[in-house]
Amino acid sequence: MASRFKNITSTDVKVEKSRLNQLIDIISLDISSVSNRKKYPSFVTGLVTPVTSSLFQTIYDQDYTYQSSNAMLDVAFGVYANVTGSSVVGSELVTELSPTIGDGNKLVFSTTTSTMMREKINVYKQYAQALLGNADSAFYSPFEDTTESNRIDEAIFINVKRLFKRDNIYKGSFGIKFFDELTGFDTAACPDTQHGSVGWSKKLTGNLFSTSNNSTNTTNQPVMLIDKDGSTNFRIGYAGEIGSLYKTVDSGANYISTPCGLIFYDAGIVVLDVKKIFNSNESVTGIIDFPDSLAVNNVVFKTGGTTHNIPVGKRAIGNSGSPINFYGFLKLATLDDIIDHFCMSRFSSNLTTAIAFQNETIVNSTIYYCNASPDDFNYSTNPTYTDSTGKIVVVEDTNDIPFTYITTVGLYNTASELIAVAKLSRPVEKNPLHNLSIRVRLDY
């Protein structure tokens, strides 16, 4: 009777690594649809008429209330600012507000000229800590050039969920398409409930934004941001491999590429430079949440347009005679309003591709070659293999050679403890006339 076990030597073991890629295509409608975006309104600010807001939003591949929905992206907005001695350095959103420095270098902002500025700064610091290893550090695009003009002072952060990015995003495959300007839309075609110029606003009934970027009258085209040389020009940082994103604009026969963001391949996080991508002087019109604001009646957003009554807890911006630019909007708006604007007004409500990339799954494999010589495993320890007299039941004559059918291979450690089981696709006969080799592959 042969032994139940056979030792596997180092020459019988091979280790290899393979990579699997999968194309991920996220459409514009998934991002712009209100029902696909989940909010977490946990932050409350204001005393008389407080407003609530999320610190980030999650985008799903369908209505997020469905059990079959999958979370694809997290979207957040952050602002860079640091206290140096008695002064504040960083985004002009912060410096123009001239905050005072309180205990623990905490910045104190006026509640009449801004909303959630400390939270916007803290979001930036959280990403800096996770991706750069230092909460006080700043992002730069391109990553290796720390010239002040390359510093990302206002950032939109896009986190790709693990289900879609897998182990990492494949370098050189990422692209995102959206509108960097909205002034090209035909404002005359916009219904008055959208309040005209920039193509977005919060409706008075419901927490929604409407957009005119589906209009056939538009003349502006979306821009494409790509990691055009990610496979050859990347850096290794605190959070792994890092590449630069480039804004590509068709200028006649040539494309102009401007670095305007970063992609952290291993973390699956994209950092967009708001200042380089969007027009900061673009006029913004609409209604936003604003703490402790009183009701305002007879607000007109367009010349000759309908008057609107603004309830408490809301604020009209960009109304007739009171223009406000995009940077002014970023100061006044809550994080929810900023993310809503980005998702609904910068992406079309159709089935065109908005974000595309290849993910990468790294499969580490150990291959065990289990060799059975002619004298090995020709007998079974199964009690039914023999009858009561000890005769092998699968042979007709006592002089016939014994044989077995191998269906399973077990891998044991040095303490004879079973640690892995491999099943064959069909039973394989083993007898003293054959030398059998079974290849067992463990993927992890």
Instruction: Enumerate the β-bridge partners of residue 146.
Output: none
422 and 330 belong to one structural domain: no
| Helix runs in 186-287, H state only | 274-277
Is 292 among the domain residues? Answer: no
pLDDT on residue 1: 40
Is 297 among the domain residues? Answer: no
Q: Is the pLDDT of residue 24 over 50?
A: yes
Q: Which two tokens stand for residue 108?
A: 């104190």
Residue where a domain stops, chosen among 338, 360, 382: 360
Going through 80-187 in order, the beta strands assigned E by DSSP cover: 81-84, 87-90, 100-101, 107-108, 139-140, 151-152, 154-160, 168-169, 175-178
Contact in structure between 82 and 88 (CB atoms under 8 Å): yes
Is 298 among the domain residues? Answer: no
259 and 224 belong to one structural domain: yes
Give me the number of domains the chain comprises.
Answer: 2
252 and 398 belong to one structural domain: no
The pairing of strands 286-289 and 37-39 is unpaired
Going through 161-199 in order, the beta strands assigned E by DSSP cover: 168-169, 175-178
For residue 261, what pLDDT band results from cuts at 50, 70 and 90?
very high
Q: Is the pLDDT of residue 340 over 60?
A: yes
User: Is-above-0.95 flag for pTM?
Assistant: no
Q: Which of 409, 286, 292 is nearest to 338 (CA)?
A: 286
Contact in structure between 32 and 347 (CB atoms under 8 Å): yes
Please compute the mean of the pLDDT values over residues 145-169 and round it to a whole number.
95
For residue 213, what pLDDT band results from cuts at 50, 70 and 90?
very low
264 and 340 belong to one structural domain: yes
pLDDT on residue 299: 79
Is 237 among the domain residues? Answer: yes
Of the ranges 54-58, 229-233, 426-430, which is most confident? 54-58
Is 1 among the domain residues? Answer: no
225 and 329 belong to one structural domain: yes
Q: Is the pLDDT of residue 195 over 60?
A: no
- What is the three-class DSSP state of 41? coil
Residue where a domain stops, chosen among 360, 382, 412: 360
Rounded to the nearest angstrom, the gap between the alpha carbon of residue 34 and the centroid of all alpha carbons in its chain is: 18
Q: Which two tokens stand for residue 82?
A: 């640091």
Residue where a domain stops, chosen among 360, 389, 424: 360
61-99 per-position pLDDT tens digit? 999 999 999 999 999 999 999 998 888 999 999 999 999
Contact in structure between 347 and 131 (CB atoms under 8 Å): no
pLDDT on residue 394: 80
Tell me which of 102-111, 312-321, 350-359 is least confident: 312-321
d(CA 441, CA 420): 10
The residue range of the domain holding 53 is 18-280+322-360
Please compute the mean of the pLDDT values over residues 50-63 and round it to a whole number.
95
pLDDT on residue 61: 96
338 and 411 belong to one structural domain: no
Is 254 among the domain residues? Answer: yes
Rounded to the nearest angstrom, the gap between the alpha carbon of residue 79 and the centroid of all alpha carbons in its chain is: 19
d(CA 283, CA 19): 47
Please compute the mean of the pLDDT values over residues 411-418 and round it to a whole number.
91
| Torsion region of 17: left, alpha or beta (phi above 0 gives left; psi -120 to 50 gives alpha) | beta
433 and 341 belong to one structural domain: no
Q: Which of 222, 267, 279, 273 is nearest to 245 (CA)?
A: 273
326 and 438 belong to one structural domain: no
Q: What one-letter code names the amino acid at 124?
A: Y
pLDDT on residue 211: 37
Of the ranges 15-24, 189-198, 217-226, 302-311, which is most confident? 15-24
221-256 per-position pLDDT tens digit? 788 899 988 888 899 999 999 999 998 766 555 566
Q: Is the pLDDT of residue 18 over 70?
A: yes
351 and 410 belong to one structural domain: no
Is 307 among the domain residues? Answer: no
241 and 208 belong to one structural domain: yes
341 and 427 belong to one structural domain: no
Q: For the residues of 134-158, what is the DSSP string, one character each?
A: -TT--EESSTT---GGGEESEEEEE
* Mean per-residue pLDDT of the chain: 85
Q: Which of 404, 408, 393, 409 is nearest to 433 (CA)?
A: 404
Q: Is the pLDDT of residue 130 over 80?
A: yes
d(CA 95, CA 411): 65
The contacts of residue 369 (CB under 8 Å, 6+ apart) are: 8, 12, 13, 14, 437, 438, 439, 440
179 and 48 belong to one structural domain: yes
pLDDT on residue 326: 87
Going through 46-86 in order, the beta strands assigned E by DSSP cover: 51-53, 57-60, 71-79, 81-84
Tell me which of 214-223, 309-318, 397-406 is least confident: 214-223
d(CA 196, CA 199): 6
pLDDT on residue 170: 95
Please compute the mean of the pLDDT values over residues 310-330 and round it to a whole number.
82
Is 25 among the domain residues? Answer: yes
Please compute the mean of the pLDDT values over residues 169-178 and round it to a whole number.
94
Q: For a pLDDT cut of 70, what percent of the chain falls above it?
A: 86
Q: Is the pLDDT of residue 399 over 80?
A: no
Tell me which of 209-218, 279-288, 294-303, 379-388 is least confident: 209-218
For residue 198, what pLDDT band results from cuts at 50, 70 and 90?
very low
The contacts of residue 275 (CB under 8 Å, 6+ apart) are: 152, 153, 154
